[in-house]
Every structure is written in structure tokens, then in C-alpha cells.
Amino acid sequence: MHFTVYCLDHDNMVERRLAHYEAHKAYLAKAPIRTIMSGPLLAGDQQTMIGSFFLYEADDIAEVMRFNSSDPFNEAGIWRTVDIRPFLKRVDNR
């Protein structure tokens, strides 16, 4: 099953986000679930990072929730909100 994870940062988190980026990247690399796609969400200026988006493949939502809760960005208090939802992929034009 696929799951989207949509995370919005607290205000003024760019420096904290960059300080934890290497730990976050290493954490994703050793994921027990498959990361299909991930990257930062951007503000209207198309440069300022304001959150994170992930598309995961996992057996169930509880597995994704456990993994996300231990993400270094989450543990550092960067994300203000985290929304995890099942996703049914119908089209993939990659």
C-alpha cells in the first residue's frame, strides 16, 4: 500500500532544517519501508523550504507512523503538522 506524508514546518525553521538535514537523509536511507519519492515543500518564492512530502510503500499506516515519528526532523521539532494518508496510485507517468 502507498502512503503520503505531508509535513508543514513551524515558522522560521530553515536553519534548523539545514542543521538536521544530514541526519534526516541518513535516516531515510536506512528506512524499513520503501521511499518512492520525497522532497521539501516550498513557499511561493519556489526557494524557501516550508515542509516535507513523502510517498512511501509500506504494509500498513502504523508502520509509516512509527517511522515518521523517529525522523530527525520530527524529533528536532521542525514539523508543526504531519498528515499521513493512504494513497491509491492510479496513474504514474514517470
Please report, for the domain that includes residue 73, its CATH number: 3.30.70.1060
Number of Cβ within a 10 Å radius of residue 9: 22
Task: Answer whether residue 92 is part of any domain.
Answer: no
At residue 23, the pLDDT reads: 97
CA distances from 37 to 11, 30, 33, 44, 52 (A): 24, 15, 12, 21, 11
Task: Give pLDDT tens digits for 28-67.
Answer: 999 999 999 999 999 999 999 999 999 999 999 999 999 9
Task: Answer whether residue 63 is part of any domain.
Answer: yes
With 0.85 as the threshold, say if the pTM is over it: yes
| Enclosing domain of residue 66 | 2-87
Task: Answer whether residue 94 is part of any domain.
Answer: no
Task: Answer whether residue 93 is part of any domain.
Answer: no
The stretch 19-35 carries a mean pLDDT of: 95
Question: What is the distance between the alpha carbons of residues 70 and 76, in angstroms, rounded to a whole number?
Answer: 10
How many domains in the chain?
1
